[in-house]
Amino acid sequence: MTFPIVGLIAGDWARVVYENEGRKLGVGIKFGPSHISPDQLIEFSKDCQLLCIEPDLLAISTIKTVERSGVRIYPSSKTLEQLSLIEKTPVTGDCFSILIARSAHNQIACWPATLVTNNLTITPPPGVSDDQLEQIQLSAFKLVGEIGLVGAFELLVDAADYKRLVKINWYLRAVLDLPLGSTNAFENFVITGKLITDEASDDYRPYLHLMARNPDLKFDQSSKQVGIAGNNLEKLLTEIIHAQQYYSGEIDE
């Protein structure tokens, strides 16, 4: 038995993410063009165990044609049709993000919910009781089961009404039916913040300064974000806000 090859039809950002995750899992990723006909997609899939697609790039009719040829494709046409029947709420304020994974054998894992604001994320959401967080997760489990999702997904729901779906982002792991791993948090809180480049400087100088000032900060330059984990929410927020202000040139110390 050899490691599987997964065919991927997705945008540039998703390609980077899937390639990195595939490398960690020992899975080969075969990239296809974002514009492809049904016959070309069937040919492309011949040496792949399955296909993962970015749903917006392919018509449902194309997905159905490929499925009829015997190719496994995720998300499936059935899932996308079920999902299209669910009303989605426009983003007007804060959201809760729930990362959930469901395998083909109905193994389900759910990670702690995250509050998503305009320029910060906080895990778990402050001011939300354990009972409320449990209800949010149960609502996510119910949605995943109803529409037959297979894979790992980030569900974005309205923070004011967690039963109102805003968006779904797709991930790789569970489509391979691999063990889903632990959902335990190593710290009480995880916070991330968006970074804005100082027009009078560059990204490297503030990056060096902030890393030297607080080695606990974690930077992702590909998505322009900074993160930190710990047990003191107020202190963590102070560190992230300081990093954002220094990075953007709003403050100089």
CATH code (residue 155): 3.30.470.20
| 162 and 210 inside one domain | no
Assess if residue 106 is contained within a domain: yes
Residue span of the structural domain in which 108 resides: 95-176
Classify residue 146: in a domain, yes or no.
yes
137 within some domain: yes
* Range scoring the smallest mean pLDDT among 29-43, 91-105, 166-180, 193-207: 166-180
- Tokens 């990195």 belong to which residue? 20
- Residue after which a domain boundary falls, among 125, 143, 176: 176
Gap between the Cα atoms of 73 and 115, Å rounded: 31
**Cα→Cα distances 221→121, 184, 190, 203, Å:** 17, 26, 18, 9
**In terms of domains, do 108 and 157 share one?**
yes
Which residue has tokens 């949605």? 143
Is residue 139, in this structure, part of any structural domain at all?
yes
Asked if the structure places residue 231 within a domain, the reply is: yes
| Domains of the chain: total | 3
67-99 per-position pLDDT tens digit: 999 999 988 999 899 988 888 888 788 999 998
Residue 194 and residue 150 in one domain: no
CATH code: domain of residue 26: 3.40.50.720
In a domain, 198, yes or no: yes
Domain assignment present for residue 109? The answer is: yes
State the average pLDDT for the chain: 86
pLDDT of residue 28: 86
**Which tokens is 126 given?**
């402050």
Determine the Cα–Cα distance for residues 74 and 150; give it in Å rounded to an integer: 7
Q: In the predicted model, is pLDDT for residue 43 greater than 90? A: yes
Residue 80 lies in a domain: no
**Chosen domain end from 147, 176, 205:** 176
Q: In sequence order, what are the beta bridge partners of 190?
A: 123, 229
Domain boundary residue among 176, 199, 221?
A: 176
Same domain? For 159 and 212 the reply is no
Question: CB within 8 A of 140, min separation 6: which ones?
Answer: 98, 100, 110, 155, 157
Residues 38, 102, single domain; the answer is: no
Q: Are residues 64 and 21 part of one domain?
A: yes
Query: Do 142 and 196 belong to one domain?
Result: no
Q: Is the pTM of this model over 0.75?
A: yes
